[in-house]
Structure 1
Amino acid sequence: MRVFMRAHHAILPYILVALMASCSQVVKDSEIPIESYSAKEIYNLGEENLNRNRPVEAAEYFGEIERLYPYSEWAKRGLVMQAFSFHKGLDYPNSRSSAQRYIDFYPASEDAAYAQYILALSYYDQIAEVGRDQAITLKALQELRILIERYPDSKYAADAKLRFDLAFDYLAAKEMEVGRYYLQKGHYTAAVNRFRVVVQDFRGSAQTPEALYRLVEGYLSLGLQAEAQSSGGVLAKQYGSSDWDKDSVLLLSKNGLSPDTSNDNWLSQMYRQMIKGQWL
């Protein structure tokens, strides 16, 4: 046992010296000016920080490439990676800025679609945070549409279409939420106006069948029987097998009415123009 202890104490100083040398080397390396690194080396440092889940530090390194080697291929790569790093770090404004600069500088690049995707996501990923302010959702829809139309064959187009539909339905759902509130409070005109927005501006969304039913309900509450019948008629034609159509028929029948599409009001006109393609 004593032999082991003596051996242990004998090698301890060497271990301490080795550790101190190692620490000294780390400090020494960290003191090397960033200007001493090549563009590729700085890019690798950015990737290394991303792999260590340090997106803020990664974004800084990628930004240094653009500062030190602005016309290099690595600066081009670094800019889109900076946008990605900022997004991963939930810094959406800076992510948007980097992505937009990439698109402006390199519109024909093979990574331009990816930069547009990051730009769209920087808005889309904030939708749940905005509460009643829908400006972010509208921007997400705008940027997603640009991606779908400008880069239809990119590998990001399918995901963009899915997210577009979800954001589109989210906006429609918000309109429905406000409309139902007005309806519950007896503010029928305000409620009808909200439901009309859903039917006109969000055609094809998952909210449309209910919006048509709520129009039947709202118009009946206002004593506008012809409009209620017309709303029920459009609902029957477009969503005849839905529960909302069944509820509409029942509600109209309680008032001695039935669905009718013969009335020449705004809803019947919209149905002919937008659904059937009949403009006269």
Structure 2
Amino acid sequence: MEKTSLHPLMFIVLVVVTTFLMGSSFTVGKIGLNYVSPLLLVGLRFTIAGLVMAVLVRKSGKPEKLADWGRIFTIGLMQTAGVMGCIFLSLRTITAGESSILTFTNPLMVVMMGTVFLGIRYRLLQWIGAFVGFIGVFITLGFHLQLTVGTLFGLGAAVFWSIGTILIKQWGSRFNVWVLTAYQMLFGGIALLLMGLTLESPKLMINPVSITVILWLAIMASIVQFAIWFYLINQGDPGKTSAFLFLAPFFGVLTGWVLLDEVVEWYVYAGGALIFIGIFLVNWTFKKGTANLEGDIEKMAKPLNS
């Protein structure tokens, strides 16, 4: 897609819309758990979204090699099955706001994984951001390291997301971005459906609320949200755009409070603020030409993609 000038006001509107869809999906998902078991709910969400997108991209170039389909399947297991499975399992025991905050610590974990597995050298400011962010995680958990099942799943979502990010940067240039998005969601959704039918006691109550939740998560919070986000990434600096991800957990907390009357302790706000500052420092490009998180990973990935 050719980049065109995007009006600052339109950029702000689109950022708010896409991050609202990201963040509010935690709350909508928690509502859905009243009618559908966690893995089955998220499996239905991404299987539907993946099928719709697969139809939309049917004329786009699809991989010819079996190994490339295997790569897409692996990304789907990490980015969709791993991330979303952990999120929806976490929502059984912690608030939508807490789950969204923990999940969106993934940029901090990418710094650690990028150093260990890809040998990326980050700037001091990025390490300060990671340190500040992880202090925020400690505070968000209540100033102690006693992890509940819900918090473990929330952190697990961030770990899977980080792995998915690195894999996409390693292999993503092999694929049309929309084909990759469609089929990784479809493969991940099918895996979640299978897990929902075998690893938990399946529950599915068909009523207007459950149908609305499933369709909202599949269409608005998946297809529309992905489309807007990829458009923004394509139109501007990916590092600067990614820094606005801090708005997603904000909307997760806000919608949880408005729709579910969730009470969020003060230390969750304090820890969340430090996490957002850490993510900002990790992602933001302060000077023209300064390396950013996505750019660093992409540079390391290029030799493996050629």
Structure 1 and Structure 2 fold alike (TM over 0.5): no
The higher relative CO (CA closer than 8 Å, separation ≥ 6) is in: 2
TM range (shorter): under 0.3
Q: How does the TM-score come out when normalised to structure 2?
A: 0.22
Q: How does the TM-score come out when normalised to structure 1?
A: 0.24
